[in-house]
Amino acid sequence: MDRKRMIYLDNNATTPTDPRVVEAMLPFSMNTRQCQAAITLFGWVAEEAVDYAREQIANLIEVDSKEIIFTSGATESDNLGLKGVFEMYRRKGNHIITVKTEHKAILDTCDHLEKLGAEITYLEVNREGLIDLTELEAAIKPNTILISVMWANNETGTIQDMKTIGDICAKHGVLFMSDATQAVGKIPVKPKKVGVHIMAFSSHKMYGPKGVGALYVSRKNPRVKLTAQMDGGGHERGMRSGTLNVPGIVGFGKAAEIAKNEMTQDAERVSKLRDKLETELSKLEEVYLNGAKQSRMPHVTNLSFKHVEGEGLMMTFNQNIAVSSGSACTSASLEPSYVLVALGLGDDLAHSSIRFSLGRFTTEEDVDYAIQAVAQGVNHMRDLSPIWEMYKEGIDLNTVTWSEH
């Protein structure tokens, strides 16, 4: 296999920065005297650039630019949203509803809040990764202050029914927060249209630079107030103090503008490539799709290759193909992915899963190459596997008594 060829199918972990974004950032990153004078010394140049980027981002999600708070990324935005609401509305209630398949930035923050007296309900999901809306409504109590449901899942791409959840929140007067990190810039995300009041997202998942993100906080109907988690100079309307990352924000703004213009064509092109990858790989025996087939992101497919251990399969790619087994953030450990376990997969199928996430720069040649390499890897691993041989002989592995010695 050609070692020099690198095929990147891990865009849910991070996206490459678009060259047009880099170009927009350069004047704000270069350390020439002219640039320094213009940007550092004459602060208004930087201020104007930040305001412009704020507009570009607000434009993408159709909110007012005053409703955008810049942060260091979605992790910080998730923390600010959850902790900020809990502290601000604590006297009203201490109950938060979220979902078992949320990103760790939400789950671990909820753990933290539980230690501070919050009561957290974690909703189950079905085989497709969708929550049960009747269960959600039944979980609401008089002390519920917030419902936090991610827009699209990072491992499976499953998209929740945001509009109906928004309607339920409105009916019960509960704030609605969403971690939309995997959705913004890739599919239309309009929080006001679906009744989301607080929304976290990140630049590096939409072809912008790393280390910058945003939190949308509704200022009208309802006006949401948050307790700041970073105290200091009162930047970002007092909600997030600290000198802003100007080059990062400029790049984030440019990434939002490009997404606004190109998202529809990108999604159409990439979903065709994703479908080709999925269809071709599904021709192998015992391949299972994890998550929803219909309600999902256009660029993601999460497949389990039964009796093929995912990490082992990745090694057969000889570092030519970047994909993910389990969550990008937890794949260093060999725990089966908690997201896939929540979908009801057994350990064997969870361990044999691979997430393919395509992107703006994925070509048809990349996909063709990946199909061939993955099929070859799966066949190779199965050829070596006594378990696969037993399965092919028709032995039901659940009935086998394994020797203790």
Ligand X SMILES: Cc1ncc(COP(=O)(O)O)c(C=O)c1O
# of chain residues touching ligand X (CB under 6 A): 16
d(Cα 107, Cα 101) in Å, to the nearest integer?
9
CB of residue 105 vs ligand X: minimum separation in angstroms? 4
CB of residue 111 vs ligand X: minimum separation in angstroms? 15
Q: How many CA atoms does the CB half-sphere of 344 hold within 13 Å?
A: 10
Pick the stretch among 27-35, 58-66, 139-147, 179-187 that binds ligand X (CB under 6 A): 179-187
d(Cα 54, Cα 169) in Å, to the nearest integer?
27
CB of residue 127 vs ligand X: minimum separation in angstroms? 20
List the x/- string, 128-167, binding to ligand X by CB under 6 A.
----------------------x---x-------------
Residue 99 as a binder of ligand X (CB under 6 A): the answer is: no
Closest by CA position to 357, among listed 1, 15, 2: 15
According to CB under 6 A, which one of 11, 39, 54, 73 is a site residue for ligand X?
73
Q: Alpha carbon of 192 to those of 66, 217, 251: distances in Å?
A: 14, 11, 25
Residue 103 as a binder of ligand X (CB under 6 A): the answer is: yes
According to CB under 6 A, which one of 9, 69, 74, 297 is a site residue for ligand X?
74
Catalytic residue among 35, 110, 169, 329: 329
Cβ burial of 186 (10 Å; 0-12, 13-18, 19+) is: buried
List the x/- string, 294-323, binding to ligand X by CB under 6 A.
------------------------------
List the x/- string, 321-340, binding to ligand X by CB under 6 A.
-------xx-----------
Any residues with CB less than 8 A from the CB of 75 and at least 6 apart, and which?
105, 213
Give the number of other CB atoms < 10 A from CB of residue 25.
23
Instruction: Answer yes or no: are the C-beta atoms of 24 and 224 closer than 8 Å.
Output: no
Pick the stretch among 3-11, 67-75, 341-349, 375-383 that binds ligand X (CB under 6 A): 67-75
Pick the stretch among 72-80, 134-142, 244-252, 367-375 that binds ligand X (CB under 6 A): 72-80
Indicate the residue among 25 and 378 with the shorter CB distance to ligand X.
Answer: 25
Pick the stretch among 73-81, 91-99, 263-271, 382-390 that binds ligand X (CB under 6 A): 73-81
CB of residue 140 vs ligand X: minimum separation in angstroms? 24
Is there a catalytic annotation at residue 329?
Answer: yes
Please report which helix (H) or strand (E) contains residue 214, including its range: strand 213-217
- Pick left, alpha or beta for residue 195 (phi over 0 → left; psi -120 to 50 → alpha; otherwise beta): left
Amino acid at 341: V
> Under rule CB under 6 A, which residues in 197-236 are in contact with ligand X?
202, 204, 213
Residue 75 as a binder of ligand X (CB under 6 A): the answer is: yes
Q: How many CA atoms does the CB half-sphere of 177 hold within 13 Å?
A: 31
CB of residue 405 vs ligand X: minimum separation in angstroms? 44
Distance of CA 387 to the CA centre of its chain: 34
DSSP readout, 60-125? HHTS-GGGEEEESSHHHHHHHHHHHHHHHHTTT--EEEEETTS-HHHHHHHHHHHHTT-EEEEE--
Indicate the residue among 186 and 307 with the shorter CB distance to ligand X.
Answer: 186
* Residues making contact with ligand X (CB under 6 A): 73-75, 78, 103, 105, 150, 154, 179, 181-182, 202, 204, 213, 328-329
Report, as residue numbers or ranges, the catalytic residues. Answer: 329
